[in-house]
Structure 1
Amino acid sequence: MQSNATLKTPGKDTAPWYAHRWPWLLMLGPAAVVVAGVHTTYLAYSNQDALVVDDYYKQGKAINHDLSRDRVAAGMKAEAGLGYDAARGQLRGSLRSFGQPLSGKFTLQLVHSTQPEKDVRLTVETDAGGAFTAPLPMLDIGRWAVQIEPDQRAWRLHGEWNWPQEREIRLLPPAP
């Protein structure tokens, strides 16, 4: 006599597919790619691309003018020293030409390498000894492009400053 109960065959599993772990593990890779793609799309559309400019041709032509300003700075042996005192929130510096102090008003720019909203533009006035101080509440950690030029924009000094690894920076014109 045979019973109505079915006999299980060894090696044959009757559980549904979703009860096994292997299909889920195989789907994990493509699911992670989809999530990463959605996140990348969100980042691309929610953040402004600050590296692209509309007038790239005009800026490219202006490079030659900037190089002439570098040559003027080299001819007058201009140099600058900058230091930041985080405890006091002060940027201090000095300007010299032919070893003598430079006096007057100057524009000092600190440009953040990746975040333009953190850029700083200061107008500083040196004393008779060529020294100046400017209030700067907080200088973020990072790489900064530094540029100093007089109000007339006849010459400029520029360089890179890795704050806080470099506590002070000395700007010299590029060698001819």
Structure 2
Amino acid sequence: MSNTMTLRSENQPWYKERWPWFLMAGPAIVIVAGFITLWLAVESNDGLVTDDYYKQGLAVNQRMHRDQQAASLGLHGDLMRADLNVRLMLSADSASKVPEAIVLKLAHPTRSGQDQAVQMHAEGPGFYSGKLSADISGRWLVSIEDPEGQWRLQGEWQADSVEPLRLSAKVGK
């Protein structure tokens, strides 16, 4: 008897081997992830991008003037929320007359599609109420303005908080 080894070769087609499939899995996953990223980029709203950035830049001085006007009137406000109802208590240091209606603007920092403008009507001297069009939660940028656009109060609001938002005029921002 001879002690020779015989090499047995099994000639299988490549697609029946596991290593080619293992090596192709990485690039295939990357291609699928690329298509998902492309779909998200096309379908999502770029809420931070604005078309009229030049006009917004020119309006900075006008906005600063409105903040200064609110400071000169000594305006202060407390904004409260209960479900979809919002209430505002507005006071002024001087004997200036408060308007019959106020515009409350709520802007989400990253999703402009959720922004709201609420018309608030006077219930008494310095007391206003309005109704939100949709429930809000999280952080919001708040602006309260008179209908003529002469002054405004601004602040950041954690809408989930039970504490009212205290607004006062900020000059120099």
User: Could you tell me the TM-score, scaled by structure 2's length?
Assistant: 0.81
Measured in 2, the distance between the counterparts of 1:70 and 1:33 equals 51
Q: Give 2:87's aligned residue.
A: 92
Tell me which of 54, 59, 71 is aligned to 2:56.
59
Which shifted more, 15-24 or 135-144? 15-24
1:73 to 48, 70, 78: 70
Alignment check: 8 A CA contact 1:102 1:126 kept: no
Q: Is the 8 A contact 2:103 2:117 kept in 1?
A: yes
Q: Distance in 2 between matches of 1:20 and 1:174?
A: 71
TM-score normalized with structure 1 length: 0.79
Distance in 2 (alpha carbons) for counterparts of 1:173 and 1:20: 73
**Seq. identity, %:** 35
CA distance in 1, matches of 2:71, 2:170: 7
Distance 1:149 1:33, change over 3 A: same
Which segments of 5 or more consecutive residues in structure 1 lack a partner in the other structure? 1-5
Q: Which residue of 1 aligns with 2:164?
A: 168
Mapped contact 1:80–1:172 kept (Cα < 8 A): yes
- Aligned-partner Cα distance in 2 for 1:13–1:159: 75
Between the two proteins, the alignment pairs up a number of residues equal to 169
Q: After TM superposition, give the deviation of residue 136 of structure 1 in Å.
A: 2.3
Q: Does 1:129 align with 2:93?
A: no
The CA RMSD measured in Å over matched residues stands at 2.9
Instruction: Give structure 2 stretches of 5+ with no counterpart.
Output: none
* Cα contact 1:94–1:126 (8 A) shared by 2: no
SS in 1 for 2:136: coil
- Other-structure match for 2:112: 116
Give the alignment partner of residue 38 of structure 1, picking from 32, 35, 38.
35
- Residues in 2 aligned to 1:60 and 1:157: alpha-carbon distance in whole angstroms: 20
State the secondary structure of the residue aligned to 1:127. Answer: strand
